[in-house]
Structure 1
Amino acid sequence: MEEIVTHLEMSSPADLRPAPPVPGLSAEHVPADSPLVRPTTVRIGKPYNWPSSRWSDDDWASYLAREGRQCVLIRYLSEVAGLADYQSHGDGEVEITTFGLVPEYVGKGIGGYALTLAIEQAWQCGPDVRRVWLHTSDLDHPHALPNYHRRGFRTFRTTRGQR
């Protein structure tokens, strides 16, 4: 299936345009090998046919064991509502490799603030972070790209590919 992939970036924490807070929504650091990371990511990505929703045990083990991987659960009133994970690439670069909400929280008005929390955590992935970036696809939720732009991300590249 053909997709258009949009790559986005922020070059300063001051670029963040936060969404209004949602009472009860929080971000909780968990180890990459937490038993919640894989199933939450699969639940987020399955409706959009993310490749990670089809990975083998070995693929997951390799992904989660990468040096510099950090994970944050997005919780709403103590329930897991979503997840963000990050990969530090060195030279002050942090990629948000996963961000999303599980299906039962999509469309509930919490995505903007959940993304705000995820971005704030990305800027705290190390003392020298100077760039936070990510990519999204036109096959992802239709509100994903507009939400990234509203939070202050700028598009720096668009590519075509296959999912």
Structure 2
Amino acid sequence: MASVSPSDIRIYQIDGRHPGRGHVLLILTDGPTDLAAAAVAAARARDAGVLLYTAAAVASPGFSINALLHRARAHRQDADAAGITARVAPALRAAGVGHFMNSAALRLPHGSRHRGDLPGVVISRLARNLDAALVITTLPIREPLHGLAPATSGEAAPDAGGMAPST
């Protein structure tokens, strides 16, 4: 496994919510840093004594007027989300955190997952619906953030330069 720097993991806090009083939402992107993000999210949820929710970003080509094709595509996306979550499940179990293994399929417009960012409005809505206080992901969230703010405390997020202070 490749080395993961702290700047590869991004933590956002929901405005007006205390990190210890709301759940943790982990957005999985099917990338090489998902395991590291899962470990950070599991530690945060365990330390705060809250639940960990997972959502896996999957591509969606959009609406279909054919109901049968639309339903088949939704099943395929749900299976993709379950597979992405299954890859990090051992890390979540090892951390001993209460979590929901049925991952939500975060349906994104086709190609947006590979653009290198996530839509702020979709992430914010999902986090508020799940009563999450923290969102942890490996991709940045696209402006506008809709009530999400990058975390600033100690290990929560890397410093501005992404580099650890030298001693």
Shorter chain as normaliser: what TM range?
0.3 to 0.5
Q: Rg: which structure is higher?
A: 2
Determine which structure has the larger helix proportion and give its number: 2
TM-score normalised per structure 1: 0.34
TM-score by length of 2: 0.34
Considering fraction of residues, name the structure with more strand.
Answer: 1
